[in-house]
Amino acid sequence: MRRTVRISVLVCGLVLAACGSGPPVTPASPRPAAGDHRLTLDVGGKQRSVLLHVPPGYTGTNPVPLVVALHFYPGSGERLRDMIGMDAKADEHGFLVAYPDGVAGGFNALVCCGAEDDVAFLEALTGRLITDWRVDPRRVYATGISNGGDMSFRAAVEATGVFAAIGAVSGGYGGPPAEAPGFVPAEPVSVLSIIGGQDRYFDIFDAGLKKWRERLDCEPRPLPAGGTDGVRRSSARCADGSDVEVYVVADMGHAWPGAKSGEMALPGAPIVATDLLWDFFAAHPRLG
């Protein structure tokens, strides 16, 4: 079935209280520009909202990477943006960050939350940013926490050829879709997983990672000597050329390690998820 997608730009100002708090969202010019922009897409007849951060110095001349950051449930793109500090990382390294809003505070991921075609939403969003905002199609990435982390795994499998790598924080590969042995990416997608040893869902996340590695025929890889106290790290290379790296933070629950504020922040963690995610993404452009 052909999907009809329409995108428009909303100007957020004093009269549009629904745009939320935080850094001001500047009116978008006809030409993409640096700043924060509120975008809407019509996907399947429903208006979907996205907050887009474009770093200073962006000109639209050269192709740039994109990170799509998916929020927890119940949540919003703006609340995730305020928590994880990805905008500062984007400003430093010159990539775009898109913060989509789920419907009724959630994404239709592997376990919950909703019934929308959120894979179509992410395909439409990334396609538009590639076409109009000069995003490099070989460097498109997804990350998320909890419901958003689950959604990043779903997108890795179902949005074929879109994401070069994903990074799931306190989220995983499970639920009814993942019970099917063939529920794996048709093209290589590298995975970074960050989970807490005290997370109530740890066993589910751990089992999902084992299943992912088995299905993709991944072999363990040696790691440099040393490491971080309280963190167990593993690395594997899969038969399709993708990588799987896992960080287990022993004393962490359901949280985003290194985030300084927010309902799922863990500022005293021994690692900073946002830093690890960008380092992993930068090293993993799309294969082929």
Crossing angle (nearest 10°) for helices 273-282 and 86-93 = 40
- What is d(CA 287, CA 285) in angstroms, rounded to the nearest whole number? 6
Arithmetic mean of pLDDT, 158-167:
98
Tell me the average pLDDT across 172-182: 96
Each domain of the chain, given as residue ranges in start order, spans: 5-282
pLDDT attached to residue 26: 40
- Other beta carbons less than 10 A from residue 260's beta carbon: 13
- pLDDT (tens digit per residue) in 120-154: 999 999 999 999 999 999 999 999 999 999 999 99
Class at the top of the CATH hierarchy for domain 5-282: alpha beta
pLDDT in tens, 38-49: 999 999 999 999
